[in-house]
Amino acid sequence: MTNLTHMTIRAALDGLKKKEFTASELVDAHIAASEAARHLNCYITETFDLARDAAKESDARYAKGEALPLDGIPIAMKDLFCTEGVQTTAASKILKGFIPPYESTVSGNMKRDGLISLGKANLDEFAMGSSNTTSAYGHVLNPWKREGDDRDLVPGGSSGGSAAAVAARIAMGATGTDTGGSIRQPAAFCGITGIKPTYGRCSRFGIVAFASSLDQAGPFARTVEDCALLLESMAGYDPKDSTSVNLPVPRYADAIGGSVKGLKVGVPKEYRVEGTNPEILALWDKGAQMLKDAGAEIVEVSLPYTKYALQTYYVIAPAECSSNLARYDGVRFGQRAEGDNLIDTYEKTRAEGFGQEVKRRILIGTYVLSAGYYDAYYNQARRVRKLIWQDFMNAYQQCDVLLTPTAPTPAFAIGENQQDPVTMYLNDVFTIPASMAGVPGLSLPVGLSGDGLPLGLQLLGRPFEEETVFKVAHALEQAAHFTALPQTLQRKAA
């Protein structure tokens, strides 16, 4: 019998339709795999019973010939999406026990299409981090290990639980959110595919806010086509989010398999940043050659202002976070530490409820928004952000997509890169520019490092041209033919 946990979503949908197996069997296989992989700590809250019930409903629909578009596919839901009746923590102590009375639009869209959530996936607290080590519910482990080295590695962040779950074959797909790289960098670290669509493509309604002008939801899966199927379900206009864009959602999966002949792929010269792992730079050249061989034209482009993106991000994102997180005051949500008076209650609640990284961001954000510094930092950062956006628009006059590395290094060990916050922030040097400009970005695994870790490349597209990104990503996926499995799964298979 087919190994149900190693299939693609596309193949599983075909199998379900042909009645080769049932949704209950598919969901049960993933629950069993999840139970066997609990040491990875992918889920903050497991919802296996709800998943089993949903699978039965899905089976009934298949039996009647009334299956929904993605009926019966088990996924992991980042614990940043509010899910009606199911605890939503944002990986923070301050939201422990918070049970939303409503569903986020994206998770609701996915339910509408028959997707089944196995649980709420672990993440960095309030999605702030690049290693899933800031969660109040413990680290997530990457299912990959370096060859000959038994140290546990980080899955990347902030959507680390989602990425690790898909890589470990305990979920067929997952949701993530990406503010500065939180879908693309964990996808690269875990050897899977993930896309952050254009800002405004997916509704932010019901997603716990980090930095509202940057946050975007998107999917993880093990193939480009599976990501296309999931994004089609997640995306769409929502009157409940004023920044969601009223454009029809294309049938993204139809872009898969299209020819890249004549398409122009830009390679930004400024992205050869110092400190990037030489294996990743070599892979970048190889990726460009693969696309050239597939018929695309490679052009060198310049994005001169993107070198300021990281610094600008660490003004804008903390500014927005300090304002968004002001609502956690012990009065309306989750945890409350009783004080002598109202101010004391606020202070105690926030001191106990937030972790160190979240506090650091709130302090930076409050500082850059304070009366004396607003112009010098926040307004200046907004001006630079416009220039970064302009850089991308200029580049897209010369090319259809951009090809860059996703992250400057492969996955690192827990505890590495933690000497100072800036080393950790550098992880997102390649992903943050696209977040600042709001353009879509996809990461896919293209090769392995010398010590056996997955390495990803990133494709960036014009606003709302995810189809072109999917088309080029699929061509690269075909050429790269990445089939390696995390060592933990190889051992099991042997």
Q: How many binding residues for ligand GLN (CB under 6 A)?
A: 13
Stretch of 34-42, 104-112, 124-132, 395-403 lying at the interface with ligand GLN (CB under 6 A): 124-132
| Single residue of 34, 83, 109, 158 touching ligand GLN by CB under 6 A | 158
Nearer to ligand GLN, 58 or 88 (CB): 88
Using CB atoms within 10 Å of the CB of residue 470, give its burial: 0 to 12 exposed, 13 to 18 middle, 19+ buried: buried
What's the CA gap between 159 and 78, in Å, rounded? 7
Backbone angles phi, psi at 174, to 5 degrees: -160, 160
What whole-number distance in Å separates Cα of residue 464 and Cα of residue 461?
A: 8
Q: How far is the CB of 361 from ligand GLN (least distance, A)?
A: 8
Q: Is the dihedral of CA 12, 216, 257, 453 positive or negative?
A: negative
Single out the residue of 29, 127, 426, 455 in contact with ligand GLN (rule: CB under 6 A).
127
| Near ligand GLN in 193-232, by CB under 6 A | 210
Closer of 175 and 349 to ligand GLN (Cβ): 175
Smallest gap, in angstroms, from Cβ of residue 182 to ligand GLN?
Answer: 3
Q: What is the DSSP letter of 288?
A: H
* CA–CA dist 167, 322 (Å, integer): 33
Q: Is 182 a catalytic residue?
A: yes
Q: Which amino acid is at 292?
A: K
| Identity of the residue, 123 or 453, whose beta carbon is nearer to ligand GLN in the bound complex | 123
Is 244 one of the binding residues for ligand GLN (CB under 6 A)? no
Nearer Cβ to ligand GLN (129/197): 129
Supply the minimum distance, in Å, between the C-beta of residue 80 and ligand GLN.
Answer: 9
Contact call for residue 428 and ligand GLN (CB under 6 A): yes
Could you give the strand order of the β-sheet that contains 216-221, starting from the edge strand earlier in sequence?
43-46, 116-121, 74-78, 173-178, 216-221, 193-196, 441-448, 454-461, 401-405, 264-268, 297-301
The least distance separating ligand GLN from the CB of residue 6, rounded to whole angstroms, comes to: 29
The distance of closest approach from Cβ of residue 455 to ligand GLN in the complex, given in angstroms and rounded to an integer, is: 18
Residue in 58, 182, 233, 443 annotated catalytic:
182
Binds ligand GLN (CB under 6 A): choice among 160, 180, 365, 447: 180
DSSP string, 328-385: -SSSSSS-----SSHHHHHHHHHHHHS-HHHHHHHHHHHHHTSTTTIIIIIIHHHHHH
CA separation for the pair 476, 270 (Å, rounded): 22
Q: How far is the CB of 216 from ligand GLN (least distance, A)?
A: 9
Stretch that binds ligand GLN, among 39-47, 175-183, 395-403, 445-453 (CB under 6 A): 175-183
The stretch near ligand GLN (CB under 6 A) out of 27-35, 147-155, 176-184, 253-261 is 176-184
Closest contact distance (angstroms) between CB of 243 and ligand GLN is 17
- 317 lies in the site for ligand GLN, by CB under 6 A: yes
Binding to ligand GLN by residue 179, rule CB under 6 A? yes
Catalytic residue chosen out of the listed positions 34, 78, 92, 131: 78
Does 409 bind ligand GLN (CB under 6 A)? Our answer is: no
* Binding span for ligand GLN by CB under 6 A among 109-117, 125-133, 253-261, 409-417: 125-133
Q: How many CB atoms lie within 10 A of CB 285?
A: 11
Name the residue among 119, 163, 117 with its Cα closest to residue 144.
Answer: 163
The CA distance from 92 to 328, in Å, is 11
The burial of 275, by beta-carbon neighbours within 10 Å (0-12 exposed, 13-18 middle, 19 or more buried), is given as exposed
Peptide bond into 104 cis (omega under 30): no
Closest residue (Cβ) to ligand GLN? 182
The answer for residues whose C-beta is within 8 angstroms of residue 173's C-beta and 6 or more apart is: 9, 73, 75, 76, 115, 166, 219, 220, 221, 226, 227, 230
**Burial of 144 from C-beta contacts in 10 A (0-12 / 13-18 / 19+):** buried
Tokens of residue 364, six digits: 């930076």
Task: Tell me the window of 53-61, 97-105, 135-143, 174-182 that interacts with ligand GLN (CB under 6 A).
Answer: 174-182
Which CB sits closer to ligand GLN, 28 or 178? 178
The catalytic residue among 58, 135, 158, 233 is 158
159 an active-site residue? Answer: no
Q: Which of 83, 88, 122, 130 binds ligand GLN (CB under 6 A)?
A: 130
Tokens 């041209």 belong to residue:
465
Active site residue 17: no
Q: What does the alpha-carbon distance between residue 327 and residue 253 come to, in Å, rounded to a whole number?
A: 39
Q: Does 182 bind ligand GLN (CB under 6 A)?
A: yes
Site for ligand GLN in 431-450 (CB under 6 A): none
End-to-end CA gap in the chain: 17
346/327 Cα distance (integer angstroms) = 10
Among 74, 100, 155, 181, binds ligand GLN (CB under 6 A): 181
Catalytic center residues: 78, 158, 182
The residues binding ligand GLN (CB under 6 A) are: 127-130, 158, 178-182, 210, 317, 428
